[in-house]
Amino acid sequence: MNSWLRHMMAALQTEAGREMVRLAAQRLATALEAAGTLSLPDVARRLGTHRVTVWRWVRRGRMPAVRVGHHYRVPRDIVEAMLAPVGVATGGEWRCPAPECPAAYTTAAALAAHLVLAHH
């Protein structure tokens, strides 16, 4: 087999590999959306904040997220809990709206995580 033909076969194999990776990434993104997760830009739009702010919350552990490759995904329940109306007590505490639950947190993200994990 001549070198040109070997080169062309290698190029086709490389391109086929890239296409397989692209298709797998699309399937994964579809599965994550179906599982109820949001990308950081989607979270930022819903919360009315900048995407970098949401990224900082995730990096600092203030918002639970799953890392997928180079991207983070946030459970939709967390964002919906953050948007739900809750009573804010004096002193900057976020109180759980469930009547039987005495939990109070210092950040809305911590309360959101509590609502999803304890009352879902």
Same domain, 111 and 99: yes
Same domain, 41 and 11: no
Same domain, 3 and 59: no
Query: Confidence class of residue 22 from pLDDT cuts 50, 70 and 90?
Result: confident
pLDDT beyond 80 at 35: no
Same domain, 42 and 17: no
Same domain, 75 and 107: yes
Same domain, 83 and 106: yes
pLDDT of 66: 84
Same domain, 40 and 23: no
Same domain, 52 and 82: yes
Distance CA 93, CA 117 (A): 19
> How many domains in the chain?
2
Query: Confidence class of residue 46 from pLDDT cuts 50, 70 and 90?
Result: very high
Same domain, 26 and 5: yes
Distance CA 11, CA 16 (A): 9
Tally Cβ neighbours within 10 Å of residue 80: 15
- What would the DSSP string read from start to end of 22-86? HHHHHHHHHHHHHTTEEEHHHHHHHHTS-HHHHHHHHHTTSS--EEETTEEEEEHHHHHHHHS--
Distance CA 117, CA 24 (A): 30
* Model pTM score: 0.52
CB of 120 closer than 8 Å to CB of 77: yes
Show the 3-state SS of 76-94.
Answer: HHHHHHHHCCCCECCCCCE
Identify the domain containing residue 7 by its residue range. Answer: 1-35
Query: Confidence class of residue 89 from pLDDT cuts 50, 70 and 90?
Result: low
